[in-house]
């Protein structure tokens, strides 16, 4: 039996359409999964704006602690320099997870911990990132699994507790990001990577990966090494956080100290992850190029 021209064209078009659907089905499923997070509902429940990272399928909401006036050694610290509370949401299949890092004054610690625990979240770490800062700032890590809206509602109550507290005192600054004059291109070259320079703060981030609750977690969930610079080329401040496997810790410590970079905290941010990730917070004031080269030497020790 011979097909008429119009029937043959229809059969060819139908075959091509079916083939296209089959070929693109995995990609479409992946895109659907990445977009399955209800971003509007999370923002409404947390009263915070967020951003989706489609590569990691993570939606992160943030609260810059602009209400705080934190000083360290004559340096005025701003939210991009590590004073931003955040919570990141991820879904894989039917499993939903949240992880977060909260910036707290000392008097906020117990009320915020109560808010987290009373609403079904786990507190996985409490520690400092700095020394000699005024007011004293602590960082609390939280995590949880369960229905997305329940997690977002719990985070919203935690954020609400943080917002209810008073501001810290203001001292005179010797380095203030508003007056920064850093050469971002020179920092890129010295570090061997590309950073972002905004509001007087240069920041770089290098993501790493581990697994927790049988789910891969990476950069957007807080598994990263980062650093921020402010000031001038001649006198800059750097502060940040190294994410390391346990076997990398000692070599990173030696490398940072050889470069004159101060270590202010060593701890975990998570429990039950594999491989085990340790975090190290650092701080230093020196010429920007020297700081960047010191960090680059340590970064080469933590490459996957």
Q: What is the pLDDT of residues 197-223, one digit of tens each?
A: 999 999 999 999 999 988 999 999 999
The vertex-79 CA angle with 288 and 70, nearest 5°, equals 85
Q: What's the average model confidence in pLDDT over 275-296?
A: 96
Among all chains, which residue has been given the structure tokens 């001649």?
A: 234
Whole-angstrom distance, CA of residue 71 vs CA of residue 82: 13
Mean pLDDT of the chain: 88
pLDDT at 110: 86
The pLDDT tens digits for 132-187 are: 999 999 999 999 999 999 999 999 999 999 988 645 555 667 899 999 999 999 99
In sequence order, what are the beta bridge partners of 92? 95
pLDDT at 288: 98
According to CATH, the topology of domain 39-163 is: Alpha-Beta Plaits (3.30.70)
pLDDT at 6: 45
Q: Give me the residue spans of the domains in the chain.
A: 39-163, 177-302
pLDDT at 13: 45
**pTM reported for the whole predicted model:** 0.73
Q: Which CATH class is domain 177-302?
A: alpha beta
Q: How many CB atoms lie within 10 A of CB 170?
A: 12
The pLDDT tens digits for 238-284 are: 999 999 999 999 899 999 999 999 988 989 999 999 999 999 999 99
In sequence order, what are the beta bridge partners of 98? 89, 144
Sign, CA torsion 134/66/266/241: negative
pLDDT at 95: 83
Is 240 within 8 Å of 249 (Cβ atoms)?
no
In percent, the amount of the chain with pLDDT more than 90 equals 77
The tokens for 213 are 């609750």
For the cut 60, the answer to whether the pLDDT of residue 237 exceeds it is yes
């Amino acid at each position: 039996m011979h097909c008429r021209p119009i029937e043959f064209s229809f059969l060819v078009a139908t075959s091509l359409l079916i083939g296209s659907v089959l070929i693109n089905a995995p990609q479409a499923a992946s895109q659907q999964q990445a977009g399955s997070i209800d971003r509007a509902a999370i923002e409404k429940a947390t009263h915070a704006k967020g951003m989706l990272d489609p590569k990691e399928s993570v939606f992160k909401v943030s609260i810059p602690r602009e209400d705080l006036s934190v000083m360290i050694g004559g340096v005025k610290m701003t939210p991009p320099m590590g004073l931003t509370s955040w919570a990141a949401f991820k879904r894989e299949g039917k499993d939903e997870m949240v992880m977060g890092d909260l910036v707290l004054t000392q008097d906020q610690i117990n009320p915020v911990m109560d808010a987290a625990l009373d609403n079904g979240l786990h507190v996985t770490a409490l520690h400092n990132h700095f020394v000699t800062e005024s007011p004293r700032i602590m960082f609390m890590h939280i995590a949880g699994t369960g229905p997305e809206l329940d997690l977002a509602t719990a985070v919203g109550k935690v954020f609400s507790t943080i917002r209810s507290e008073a501001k810290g005192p203001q001292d005179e600054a010797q380095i203030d990001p508003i007056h920064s004059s850093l050469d971002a291109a020179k920092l890129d070259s010295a570090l061997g990577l590309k950073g972002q320079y905004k509001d007087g703060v240069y920041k770089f981030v290098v993501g790493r990966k581990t697994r927790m609750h049988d789910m891969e977690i990476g950069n957007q969930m807080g598994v990263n090494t980062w650093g921020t610079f402010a000031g001038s080329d001649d006198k800059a401040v750097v502060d940040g956080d190294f994410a390391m496997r346990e076997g990398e810790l000692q070599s990173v410590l030696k490398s940072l100290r050889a470069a004159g970079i101060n270590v202010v905290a060593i701890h975990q941010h998570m429990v039950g992850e594999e491989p085990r990730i340790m975090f190290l917070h650092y701080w230093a004031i020196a010429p920007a190029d020297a700081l960047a080269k010191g960090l680059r030497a340590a970064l080469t020790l933590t490459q996957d």
